Amino acid sequence: MIKAVIFDFDGVVADTEPIHRKSFNITLKQLGINLPLRLYKERYVGLGSLSIMEDVFRMHNVKRNARFWVNKRMKVFRELVKKEGVEPVKGFMKFNKLLNKLGMKKIIASGGYRKNVLAVLKCLKLERDFQFISREDVEKRKPDPAAFLLAAKRLGVKPSECLVFEDSPYGIEAAKRAGMKCVALTTSLDRSYFRRNCVVVKDFRELDLKLLQTF
């Protein structure tokens, strides 16, 4: 029986992947680098900022401090969020209200950094509705299950009682390794990226109470 719901953040709660890519390209333009959409989707969705920056620097033989450029990129990201705003993933707000009505325990377990997550939550006016785990809270990032296991611990439930919503293979693998049930959303990648043993939906508009009761 499901007693708690754990959400990934980017591409699950908030439609932020386009603005993340935009912030990378604005930052990397100073180095003459651009990340095409196809490359970003196939290689970087669900991967952390530092890992992305390090990989880009390796590909282009850039001898710069990746952490320094990640910090520049995150500042650009937050400026874009403030200037352009962010939309929730389709159907999320309605689904969140359903969970509140049911009294379901819930938490966000993001691979993003605290300042970035909080900036988007405030933009969506959800900062008082969710507690969240960010990159700073765990030593290893997804596909390591640490973030999900910490989420279950904070909610006071067993991993087997949790349902995870993710949009990347890294996150799905982390949920499986944590011993949790999971649903993959094709908000960032198409169905071909996800294994058959995972429920796959387009977005939260395909979810209802009946589906929750099947887990």
**What pLDDT is recorded for position 211?**
74
Instruction: Spot the catalytic one: 10, 15, 167, 203.
Output: 10
Give yes or no: residues 137 and 193 share one domain.
Answer: yes
Q: Catalytic annotation on 8? A: yes
Residue 204 reports pLDDT greater than 80: yes
Q: Which of 54, 84, 114 is the last residue of a domain?
A: 84
**What pLDDT is recorded for position 130?**
96
Percent of the chain with pLDDT over 90: 86
Count the domains in the chain.
2
Phi, psi of 13 (to 5 degrees): -85, -50
Residue 210 reports pLDDT greater than 80: no
Give yes or no: residues 124 and 23 share one domain.
Answer: no
Q: Is the dihedral of CA 213, 147, 132, 152 positive or negative?
A: positive
Q: Catalytic annotation on 10? A: yes
Q: What's the length of the chain?
A: 215
**Residue 162's beta-bridge partner residues?**
4
Residue 109 belongs to domain with CATH number:
3.40.50.1000
Instruction: Spot the catalytic one: 8, 15, 167, 203.
Output: 8
Q: Which pair of structure tokens corresponds to residue 186?
A: 């094709």
* Residue range of the domain that includes 111: 4-15+86-212
**What pLDDT is recorded for position 27?**
98
Q: Which of 69, 84, 99 is the last residue of a domain?
A: 84
**What pLDDT is recorded for position 47?**
86
Give yes or no: residues 90 and 146 share one domain.
Answer: yes
Q: Which of 62, 84, 106 is the last residue of a domain?
A: 84
**What pLDDT is recorded for position 213?**
73
Per-residue model confidence as pLDDT tens digits over 162-176: 999 999 999 999 999
Give yes or no: residues 103 and 144 share one domain.
Answer: yes
Phi, psi of 42 (to 5 degrees): -75, -25
Average pLDDT over residues 114-137: 96
pLDDT, mean over the chain: 94
**Residue linked to tokens 């935009």:** 22
Give yes or no: residues 150 and 175 share one domain.
Answer: yes
**In whole angstroms, what is the distance from residue 71 CA to residue 200 CA?**
34
Percent of the chain with pLDDT over 70: 99
Q: Residue 212 — very low, low, confident or very high, per pLDDT cuts 50/70/90?
A: confident
Residue 64 belongs to domain with CATH number:
1.10.150
Average pLDDT over residues 60-66: 97
**What pLDDT is recorded for position 48?**
87
Q: Are strands 105-109 and 181-185 parallel, antiparallel or unpaired?
A: unpaired
Give yes or no: residues 173 and 147 share one domain.
Answer: yes
Average pLDDT over residues 22-37: 97
Tell me which of 21 and 215 has the higher pLDDT.
21
Per-residue model confidence as pLDDT tens digits over 147-165: 999 999 999 999 999 999 9
**What pLDDT is recorded for position 214?**
75
Q: Using an 8 Å Cβ cutoff, are 166 and 175 in contact?
A: yes
